[in-house]
Amino acid sequence: MTDNRPLWAPWRLDYIVGTKAKGCVFCPDPNIDNKSALILYESGLSIVMLNKFPYNSGHLLIIPKRHLSDLTDLSIEEESDLMRLTSLSLEILREAYAPMGFNIGMNIGSAAGAGIAAHLHQHIVPRWDGDNNFMPVLGETRVIPEHIDKSYDRLSPLFAAL
């Protein structure tokens, strides 16, 4: 018999009962401020933002501004910008969180696991030894140790310095 205990996540209620965004969640809405949109940095061609549903604290997304679904559709300049922001993001995450490693990747197409297949995006997930403990394995629950607002406040000044 398992001992069922509640895991409180009051910030999820906004998502559950709130209005859902129309259109692409990665295409910036000019009526929403960067913090609310979780946007940390914008270059001329790409956006760096926090993942609203992170696998770990500091989970970033690097997204081309142009609405594309495949890596092969990027221009040379967009490819270069995506990789430049990936490298800069690694440096910032190292400074802010001191992770022991990273997972970096893209899921292209819904069959590959892309939750939003219509707009290409790259994940950067900071990792630490032991961050994948018994909770996701036995409890089917992921524990994120830092609230997303705190992650934004920690990373925003570092991206602002770019």
Helix (H, G, I), strand (E, B) or coil at 23: coil
β-sheet with 101-105: strand ranges across: 39-42, 46-50, 60-64, 122-127, 101-105
Dihedral angle, C-alpha 134, 97, 8, 114, nearest 10 °: -70
Catalytic residue of the set 67, 121, 123, 147: 121
Residue whose entry in the numeric block shows the structure tokens 């990027």: 74
Question: Is 13 a residue whose pLDDT tops 90?
Answer: no
Task: Note if 67 is an active site residue.
Answer: no
Where is mean pLDDT largest: 15-24, 47-56, 57-66?
57-66
**Domain 31-160 bears CATH identifier 3.30.1360.120:** no
pTM: 0.80
**If you ran DSSP here, which 8-state letter would residue 103 be given?**
E
Q: Taking the domains of the chain in order of start, what are their residue ranges?
A: 31-160
| Average pLDDT in the chain | 86
Model pLDDT for residues 85-142, shown as the tens digit of each residue: 999 999 999 999 999 999 999 999 988 888 888 999 999 999 998 776 555 554 566 6
Sign of the Cα torsion 29, 33, 38, 39 reads positive
Radius of gyration over alpha carbons of the chain, in Å? Answer: 17
